[in-house]
Amino acid sequence: MRVVLCPVDFSENSLKALEYAAAISAQTKTKLFILNKFTLTGGEKVEVRDNVFDKTKEEAEEKLNELRNIIQAEHKDLVVDVSVAYGIEPSQVILDFAEEIKADLIVMGTKGAGGFKEIFFGTTTTSVTSKASVPVLAFPVTAKPILPKSIVYATDLKREDEAVLYPLWNFAVILDAPLTFLYVAKDEEKGIDVIRKEMESSEGFTRIRRTLQVRFAEVKSNDVFGAIQDFANETNAGLIVLGNHQKNYLEKLRKGDLTRLMTMYTEVPLLILHKNK
């Protein structure tokens, strides 16, 4: 990794995410970009819009520079850059800027209440997650900005996992964290010992097992979201990882438990990987 991007709107959850992004950048010796984005309505007159933009940009730049000073006081060798951008669609502003600076990771704050629902089924974070070509890390406001000492990769153990094994391995290596492959099976499905053989034969998994402490775990449950969250809490995992290609799998397993999904409260950061990267 070379560049970490953290969009902020100066809310509590975005500032907590920034602390975490700074910790990651310091650990990995990567450049940290802090972005403040805002939107302007298309119906405004040009001169009014320009005046609003200039005033808002000036105020935002002042706040961003204050944040940069705070971060660099804590992480003295960390390179931090700040920028202000605007557009009609907030998520597209983030995506365009990420592409411009060639970001390797996007770290975004979430409110926490809503948990996986917020990541997969609503909000700007969802849009960025689904469209980004790089990993997106969602950091809940209730989490502590401490780098994870262990990582849980929630997987359905399919061939598609091969495409996310390299970024998964890379992230675990730079954080020096042991990795657990967690399989949540419905009651009638085969056990993990049967279906994991295909993954273990892959080149990507061989690399992971050769360089990291790895284990497999299985939980029987029809509530995949609850099972993942409970497992992470019980094992004190500091990071949950999901592949974006598993969205259909997660949606299928969540049926019948929408109430719990909508009210879930997660305190564990969530990293979304993309199968094409």
Q: Are residues 157 and 135 in the same domain?
A: no
What's the confidence (pLDDT) of residue 170? Answer: 86
Q: Are residues 195 and 159 in the same domain?
A: yes
Domain-terminating residue out of 140, 167, 197: 140
For 15-19, 160-164, 174-178, which range has the lowest pLDDT when averaged over its residues? Answer: 160-164
In this predicted structure, the answer to whether residue 232 has a pLDDT above a threshold of 80 is yes
In this predicted structure, the answer to whether residue 255 has a pLDDT above a threshold of 60 is no
Q: Whose CA is closest to 20, among 106, 131, 128?
A: 106
Q: Which two tokens stand for residue 98?
A: 């990420």
Name the residue with tokens 């598993």. Answer: 246
| Whole-structure pTM value | 0.84
Q: What is the CATH number of the domain that holds 63?
A: 3.40.50.620
Q: Are residues 72 and 124 in the same domain?
A: yes
Q: Are residues 100 and 44 in the same domain?
A: yes
Phi, psi of 217 (to 5 degrees): -140, 150
Question: How many structural domains comprise the chain?
Answer: 2
Give the SS3 label for residue 45. Answer: coil
> What's the DSSP call for residue 78?
-
Judge contact between 67 and 82, C-beta under 8 A. yes
Q: Are residues 134 and 231 in the same domain?
A: no
Could you tell me the pLDDT band of residue 268, with boundaries at 50, 70 and 90? Answer: confident
Do the domain assignments include residue 146?
Answer: no
Q: Are residues 179 and 224 in the same domain?
A: yes
Domain-terminating residue out of 140, 172, 192: 140
Do the domain assignments include residue 129?
Answer: yes
Q: Are residues 129 and 14 in the same domain?
A: yes
In this predicted structure, the answer to whether residue 130 has a pLDDT above a threshold of 80 is no
In this predicted structure, the answer to whether residue 127 has a pLDDT above a threshold of 60 is yes
Quickly count: other Cβ atoms within 10 Å of residue 248's Cβ. 9
Q: Which two tokens stand for residue 86?
A: 């605007």
Distance CA 15, CA 13 (A): 5
Mean pLDDT of 223-249: 80
Q: Are residues 59 and 180 in the same domain?
A: no
List the domain range (segments joined by +) for residue 8: 3-140
Q: Are residues 49 and 23 in the same domain?
A: yes
Do the domain assignments include residue 145?
Answer: no
Higher-confidence residue of 138 and 208: namely 138
Could you tell me the pLDDT band of residue 263, with boundaries at 50, 70 and 90? Answer: very low
Could you tell me the pLDDT band of residue 7, with boundaries at 50, 70 and 90? Answer: very high
Judge contact between 177 and 211, C-beta under 8 A. no
Do the domain assignments include residue 51?
Answer: yes
Distance CA 264, CA 274 (A): 24
Distance CA 186, CA 183 (A): 10
Q: Are residues 117 and 195 in the same domain?
A: no
Q: Are residues 110 and 16 in the same domain?
A: yes
What's the confidence (pLDDT) of residue 225? Answer: 77
Domain-terminating residue out of 102, 117, 140: 140
Mean pLDDT of 150-177: 81
